[in-house]
Amino acid sequence: MPGIRFIPTPIPCEASVMKDIEAGIDQTLDAIIDGLIKPLTAEETSPKPKEMEAPSRIVFQGNLDETNLFFYRRGWTDGLPVIPPTEAAVAEMLTGTDLPPDHLVGKLIPRLGKVTVEKIAVNAVMAGALPTYMPVLVAAVQTLMDPGSNFGTWGVSTGSWAPFWVINGPIRNDIRLNCGTGVLSPGDMANAAIGRTMALIIKNIGGARKGVEDMGTLGNPGKYSLVIAENEEKTPWEPLHVEYGFNKEDSTVMVSSPNTYLQIWPYGSDDEGILRAIVYNLIPRGGPFIIITPQHAKILADRGWTKRDIKEFISRYARVPAYQLPTYWGTSSPMTTPGARPGLYKGKVPMRETDMVPLIHDPGDISILVAGGAGAFIGLLMPVGVFASRKTTRKIELPKKWKALVNKYKNVVPTYAKY
């Protein structure tokens, strides 16, 4: 919006102290009034578009070190070295899809960058991805295009949300996604490169640049790569994508937006010890993703617990006194401002501040994922802020020559020295 007038204010967006708010208003009010009544300048009346040169297809030539320094200075990397996206490397990456290079997947906010298939391939090369990851990347971009993903908020918020990518279906094994020991640790190309590619796409095409559009106060290490596959072979329940309406033989990618990860120790090795640990370690603001190991899932299933039972148990017993919720504090609290935040307590305001209220009203906001290796730990990925974490899922479409492509890269596997 060229020529628009704006006045920055010294008031933090989370301010709840009225004295600070009023002082900030007093400090900026004269400038606001001046901006409203001052006549428009010639430039504001008829702003001239910036002259921009047509981009060259080859932006730089040099060795590996020179290319990385050039890309870093342009703000095109994530701070780590990248693979130069040469014409040959991008062409090879494009073998992972039947879509033409100029196919427009959509425009990605906040800067409405045009996400073409070729641009996805460019960022995939930079991240060190394989062509077999392209179907996942195209579907992942489509999840961000869905308004239900809330990407318009978490992509630029001060809350430092990180995209959490969950992949289900046969493609997990085709591209060797880790769903076992150390599933969230570095060391697996598919998990690492898919997450890294999406982070580069969000920054380079969408335009969510740190400190410019992405205003994360603390930032989040999960933005480097937070990718997981469900261990469908060892879950006693239906896989996550089947729970969300897809067929078991479909391959899917889901995105949600946590900004907090906890690894907790169960209070016991039985079903009660596992579930009580989850209940007592949740934090307010619903929509948690609960990662349960295969051994814990078996214990729960053997005791007759279904996913629905677990979610209802958590929703029923994860409760705190009303005054311990963030909404109790400040003018936005439904206990101090009638009608504010409708539906927070399903339309009911607690009679007393000590009344117990649920942390998660709707059991359907809880997602359960079976993954990880042996050991007594539970993973909790939770959103902390003003909205619940949404889960948006897309089916992954495979190219016609998928089996041949998988076979070409089947030996890209780390081999560790044995004792």
Domain annotation for the chain: domains and CATH numbers: 1-47 (no CATH), 63-259+391-409 (no CATH), 260-325+342-382 (3.30.2320)
pLDDT tens series, the chain, 419 aa:
667 888 888 887 777 788 888 999 998 999 999 999 999 888 888 887 778 777 788 899 999 999 999 999 999 999 999 999 999 999 999 999 999 999 999 999 999 999 999 999 999 999 999 999 999 999 999 999 998 888 988 889 888 999 999 999 999 999 999 999 999 999 999 999 999 999 999 999 999 999 999 999 999 999 999 999 999 999 999 999 999 999 999 999 999 999 899 999 999 999 999 999 999 999 876 689 999 999 999 999 999 999 999 999 999 999 888 777 766 654 344 434 433 443 344 445 566 778 888 888 789 889 999 999 999 999 999 987 555 556 899 999 999 999 999 999 999 999 999 89
What pTM was computed for the model?
0.89
For residue 339, the model assigns a pLDDT of: 39
Pull the structure tokens for residue 357.
Answer: 């209220």
Pairing label, strands 227-229, 164-168: parallel
Residue 357's H or E segment, with its range, is: strand 356-358
Let me know if 166 is exposed, middle or buried by CB neighbors in 10 A (0-12, 13-18, 19+): buried
pLDDT for the residue numbered 386? 53
Q: What is the pLDDT of residue 323?
A: 77
pLDDT at site 76: 97
Helix (H, G, I), strand (E, B) or coil at 248: coil
The predicted pLDDT at position 330 comes to 45
Residue pair 173/249 in contact by the 8 Å Cβ criterion: no
SS3 category, 327: helix
pLDDT of residue 334: 40
pLDDT reported for residue 304: 97
Tokens matching residue 367? 């997602």
Peptide bond preceding 12: is omega within 30 degrees of 0, i.e. cis? no
Alpha-carbon distances of 74 from 9, 120, 126, 313, 364, rounded to whole Å: 30, 18, 14, 51, 43
C-alpha distances in angstroms, 129 versus 133, 152, 193? 7, 26, 5
**Helices then strands, each counted (H, E), the chain:** 14, 12
Asked if 210 and 148 count as a contact pair (C-beta separation under 8 A), the reply is no
Q: What is the pLDDT of residue 349?
A: 59
